[in-house]
């Protein structure tokens, strides 16, 4: 829930580097084309469609919030671009952003959003919107989804809007954890002991090896190849659980008549910190390292990421080396665009630089532009979401009133910069008339780390005291 | 499916579910009642469901048919208890 961002130390003036959004456009081969942005978060669900998975369910309220993360895409676009959203942004929120000098893309709203489906599914169900998008396609625009799966490909086909990403099959393939284990081995990148499994026999053999780890007092994890980060996995703490997983997945494979599986089994490594780094692969095969952030935990609960990641020179070198090698390898396999990688710091002070590859946009991707604009040299920032529970719709005007001077309103000042407001009211229609949970995403910007902590505490207190929401 | 637990009374079963939730979610569980909503109020998430199932299977010495699980079974502590009672008496 928390990302801490710090601007670089003041440095001698240098020629301005292209900003992230321009670099991204150039990388995907569309430096001057208008983009049509689509925030189809948890695209992994589509990549996993038809695969054998561990049993899992999600609550409607959770899905509603995830689907409204579509509004992040608003902040990846600039004037001249377009963004498709599930509902029109709160006009007061748009005024707030433009008041800060944030140039925004033109918003296209789907005709009949449903809280339980992605913005892509909503768009495919809206003939008038498809016509408008077709016109944009005819005028040279490109479609840039959060991640590309079959529905986004279908949207591209039905509108004639060319994708600014590789096709769904390529994107799915490079997102597989089977793929990332294999290329990490091939590239000689350090990773936890583990095995890829594409048949029941391979899974059985891998689980036997995992039992060896368990016998030594270590732990192991079974992960779906296409699972969302942190989901679609089970930690094995004993042989019984390993046997149960094998029995369940064998039965699924047998009953379906499809014996192929896509899982990895690996050691669950005791880590000293989770890292996430991003690089951009250009169509010419070159790779640009964008950033590395470190996860923050509080009381064992994941709170987000911190930047800079406070790595030793050796750790940073391991990460940037891995990014360069992975970028080359992905390019050789025909991938281009944004890549986020999860990595961990190990107890011996080293790095496992590739736990999984997310060949799609990441949450941090949508913060990058704001970070460039508002977190200048010597400033600090903390990006997080505040969980909120509401009894009814909260308008941005009311939020602004509640937060008062704690809301960032001066680009050079301090305060909370809201970067997604749709997730606040996302659960409104899930159980009409009942209280609902939402998330207020923002980046707290301050002049120092101490001011940042103070602002964060005051923001939390203000939300609680005014009773508009309560933080769990 | 074991039949050794079919005589388990409901209160004991609810206590078993509470302990299983504690094992999956750790400290800080809210006070549980049969009306507690597992996702919205207790904090269960999609990946926790599988762990919860494993904990319950191990605690009750049963094996559930995971092909027939439905989201509605995990709506509340009550619905989960009802589901387990049905499974154990099948």
**Cβ A268 vs Cβ A220: under 8 Å:** yes
User: Is the pLDDT reported for residue B45 higher than 80?
Assistant: no
At residue A409, the 3 state secondary structure works out as coil
Task: Flag whether residue B67 sits within 8 Å of chain A, measured between CB atoms.
Answer: yes
Cα separation, A376 vs B82, whole angstroms: 57
Element (H, E) at B88: helix B77-89
Which residues on B lie below 8 Å from A62 (Cβ)?
Answer: 39, 45-46
Q: How confident is the model at residue B4 (pLDDT cuts 50, 70, 90)?
A: very low
Which residues on B lie below 8 Å from A61 (Cβ)?
Answer: 39-40
* Global confidence as pTM: 0.88
Does the distance separating the beta carbons of A234 and B46 come in below 8 Å?
no
CATH class assigned to A270-360 = alpha beta
Q: A56, A64, A390: which to substitute to probe chain B, counting the most B Cβ within 10 Å?
A: A56
Task: Please tell me the predicted confidence (pLDDT) of residue A11.
Answer: 43
User: Is the pLDDT reported for residue B5 higher than 50?
Assistant: no
Does the distance separating the beta carbons of A232 and B47 come in below 8 Å?
yes
Cα separation, A399 vs A173, whole angstroms: 42
CATH number for the segment(s) A193-267: 3.30.1490.20
Task: Please tell me the predicted confidence (pLDDT) of residue A58.
Answer: 67
Task: Please tell me the predicted confidence (pLDDT) of residue A9.
Answer: 45
Task: Please tell me the predicted confidence (pLDDT) of residue A383.
Answer: 84
For the segment A315-364, what is each residue's pLDDT rounded down to a tens digit? 999 999 999 999 999 999 999 999 999 999 999 999 999 999 999 999 88
- The ranges assigned to domains in chain A are 34-163, 193-267, 270-360, 375-466
Q: A53, A55, A57: which to substitute to probe chain B, counting the most B Cβ within 10 Å?
A: A57
Local confidence pLDDT in tens for the 472 residues of chain A? 444 554 444 444 455 567 899 999 999 999 999 999 999 999 999 999 989 988 877 667 788 999 999 999 999 999 999 999 999 999 999 999 999 999 999 999 999 999 999 999 999 999 999 999 999 999 999 999 999 999 999 999 999 999 999 999 999 999 999 999 999 999 999 999 999 999 999 999 999 999 999 999 999 999 999 988 777 888 898 898 899 999 999 988 998 888 899 999 999 988 888 899 999 999 999 999 998 888 766 555 555 676 667 899 999 999 999 999 999 999 999 999 999 999 999 999 999 999 999 999 998 899 999 988 998 888 888 888 888 888 899 999 999 999 999 999 999 999 999 999 999 999 998 989 988 888 999 999 999 888 988 998 899 888 776 554 443 3
User: Is the pLDDT reported for residue B61 higher than 60?
Assistant: yes
Q: Using CB atoms, which residue from A231, A244, A251 is nearest to B46?
A: A231
Task: Please tell me the predicted confidence (pLDDT) of residue A469.
Answer: 43
Question: Chain A to chain B, count of Cβ pairs less than 8 Å apart?
Answer: 48
For the segment A373-430, what is each residue's pLDDT rounded down to a tens digit? 998 888 888 888 888 888 899 999 999 999 999 999 999 999 999 999 999 999 998 9
**Cβ A70 vs Cβ A40: under 8 Å:** yes
Cα separation, A19 vs A32, whole angstroms: 14
Q: Which domains does chain B have, with CATH numbers?
A: 10-89 (1.10.1200.10)
Hey, what are A18's tokens?
């292209």
Residue A172 CB contacts under 8 Å (≥ 6 apart), including other chains: A47, A149, A226
Cα separation, A440 vs A73, whole angstroms: 16
Closest-CA residue of A relative to B69 is A55
Does the distance separating the beta carbons of B74 and A56 come in below 8 Å?
no
**Alpha helical stretches, state H, A216-350:** 239-256, 313-332
Which residues on B lie below 8 Å from A241 (Cβ)?
Answer: 54
CATH of region A375-466, choose from 1.10.10, 3.90.930, 3.30.450, 3.30.70 = 3.30.70
Cα separation, A210 vs A179, whole angstroms: 20
Task: Please tell me the predicted confidence (pLDDT) of residue A7.
Answer: 46
**Cβ A372 vs Cβ A75: under 8 Å:** no
At residue A319, the 3 state secondary structure works out as helix
Q: How confident is the model at residue B3 (pLDDT cuts 50, 70, 90)?
A: very low
How many angstroms separate the CA of residue A306 from the nearest CA in chain B? Answer: 24
Task: Please tell me the predicted confidence (pLDDT) of residue A14.
Answer: 52
**Cβ A57 vs Cβ B71: under 8 Å:** yes
Task: Please tell me the predicted confidence (pLDDT) of residue A294.
Answer: 82
Task: Please tell me the predicted confidence (pLDDT) of residue A376.
Answer: 81
Closest-CA residue of A relative to B76 is A59
Long-range contacts of A401-407, Cβ-Cβ distance < 8 Å, separation of 24 or more:
A402/A462, A402/A463, A402/A466, A402/A468, A403/A459, A403/A462, A403/A463, A404/A462, A406/A455, A406/A458, A406/A459, A406/A462, A407/A96
Q: What is the ipTM of this complex?
A: 0.76
Q: In sequence order, what E strands does A179-286 have?
A: 194-197, 220-224, 233-236, 263-267, 271-281
Q: Using CB atoms, which residue from B47, B54, B63 is nearest to A56?
A: B47
């Amino acid at each position: 829930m928390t990302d801490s961002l710090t601007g670089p130390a003041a440095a001698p003036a240098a020629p301005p580097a292209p900003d992230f959004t321009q670099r991204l456009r150039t990388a995907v081969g569309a430096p001057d084309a208008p983009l049509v942005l689509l925030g189809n978060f948890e695209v992994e669900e589509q990549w996993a469609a038809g695969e054998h998975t561990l049993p899992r369910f999600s609550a409607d309220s959770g899905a509603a919030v995830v689907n409204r993360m579509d509004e992040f895409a608003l902040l990846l676009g600039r004037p001249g671009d377009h963004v498709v959203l599930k509902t029109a942004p709160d006009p007061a929120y748009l005024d707030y952003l433009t008041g800060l000098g944030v140039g925004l893309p033109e918003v296209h709203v789907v005709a009949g959003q449903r809280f339980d489906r992605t913005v892509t599914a909503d768009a495919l169900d809206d003939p008038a919107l498809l016509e408008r998008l077709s016109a944009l396609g005819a005028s040279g625009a490109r479609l840039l989804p959060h991640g590309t799966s079959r529905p986004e490909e279908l949207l591209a086909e039905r509108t004639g809007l060319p994708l600014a990403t590789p096709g769904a099959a390529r994107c799915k393939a490079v997102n597989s954890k089977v793929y990332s284990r294999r290329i990490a081995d091939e590239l000689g990148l350090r990773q936890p002991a583990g095995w890829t499994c594409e048949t029941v026999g391979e899974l059985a053999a891998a689980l036997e090896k995992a039992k060896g780890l368990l016998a030594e007092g270590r732990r192991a994890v079974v992960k779906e190849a296409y699972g969302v980060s942190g989901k679609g996995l089970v930690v094995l703490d004993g042989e019984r659980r390993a046997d149960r997983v094998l029995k369940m997945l064998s039965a699924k494979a047998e009953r379906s008549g499809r014996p192929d599986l896509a899982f990895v089994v690996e050691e669950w490594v005791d880590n000293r910190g989770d890292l996430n780094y991003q690089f951009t692969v250009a169509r010419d095969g070159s790779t640009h390292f964008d950033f590395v952030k470190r996860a923050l935990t509080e009381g064992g609960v994941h709170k987000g990421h911190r930047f800079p990641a406070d790595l030793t020179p050796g750790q940073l070198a391991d990460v940037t080396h891995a990014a360069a090698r992975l970028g080359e390898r992905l390019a050789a396999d025909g991938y281009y665009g944004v890549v986020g990688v999860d990595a961990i710091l190990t107890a011996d002070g080293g790095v496992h630089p590739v736990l999984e590859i997310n060949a799609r946009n990441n949450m941090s991707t949508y913060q990058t532009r704001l970070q460039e604009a508002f977190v200048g040299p010597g400033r600090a920032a903390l990006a997080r979401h505040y969980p909120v529970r509401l009894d009814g719709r909260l308008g941005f005007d009311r939020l602004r009133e509640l937060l008062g001077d704690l809301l960032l309103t001066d680009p050079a000042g301090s305060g909370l910069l809201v970067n997604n407001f749709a997730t606040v009211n996302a659960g409104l229609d899930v159980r009409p008339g009942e209280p609902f949970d939402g998330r207020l995403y923002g980046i707290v910007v301050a002049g120092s780390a101490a001011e940042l902590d103070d602002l964060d505490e005051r923001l939390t207190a203000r939300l609680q005291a005014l009773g508009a929401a309560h933080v769990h | 499916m074991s039949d050794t637990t079919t005589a388990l009374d409901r209160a004991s079963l609810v206590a078993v579910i509470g302990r299983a939730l504690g094992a999956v979610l750790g400290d800080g569980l809210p006070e549980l009642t049969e009306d507690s909503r597992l996702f919205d109020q207790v904090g269960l998430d999609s990946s926790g469901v599988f762990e919860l199932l494993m904990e319950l299977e191990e605690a009750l010495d049963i094996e559930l048919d995971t092909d027939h699980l439905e989201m509605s079974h995990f709506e509340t502590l009550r619905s989960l208890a009802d589901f387990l009672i049905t499974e154990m008496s099948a």
